[in-house]
């Protein structure tokens, strides 16, 4: 069930791509930001284990907001990081929803002509 949002977004993205003929650059941007977000979670998890300087939650949330949330979902599941903190989860899913809404709104305004 934790991967359901990823499958739903893939379906929404695929539909938007077919409906509005989105450029591949958008998919590449999602991929790059998702990988960056995953790496940030991995660095933070490692720092947490070693008692080192942590990545601020604000940074992780910002990376998710700008399109890296799919990588954040994978990192949370695969690395078991930031899954138990309810306040972070609420903010994370809020930023993910804001990103998807923004993606649809911008895509419809720019490419639906």
Give the pLDDT score at 2: 83
CA torsion, ordered 61, 101, 10, 38, to nearest 10 deg? -10
Residues of the chain with pLDDT > 70, as a percent, come to 99
- Number of domains composing the chain: 1
Give the pLDDT score at 1: 78
Give dist(CA 32, CA 14) in Å, integer: 18
Cα-Cα-Cα-Cα dihedral sign, residues 13, 16, 18, 21:
negative
Summarised one tens digit per residue, pLDDT across range 65-102 is 999 999 999 999 999 999 889 999 999 999 999 999 99
**Domain containing residue 15:** 4-111
């Amino acid at each position: 069930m934790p991967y359901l949002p990823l499958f739903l977004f893939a379906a929404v993205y695929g539909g938007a791509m077919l409906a509005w003929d989105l450029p591949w650059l958008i998919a590449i941007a999602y991929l790059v930001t998702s990988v960056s977000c995953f790496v940030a979670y991995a660095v933070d998890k490692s720092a947490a284990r070693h008692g080192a300087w942590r990545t601020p939650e604000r940074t992780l949330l910002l990376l998710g907001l700008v399109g890296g949330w799919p990588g954040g979902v994978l990192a949370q599941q695969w690395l078991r990081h930031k899954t138990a903190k309810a306040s972070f989860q609420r903010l994370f899913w809020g930023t993910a929803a804001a990103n998807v809404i923004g993606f649809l709104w911008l895509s419809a305004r720019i490419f639906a002509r």
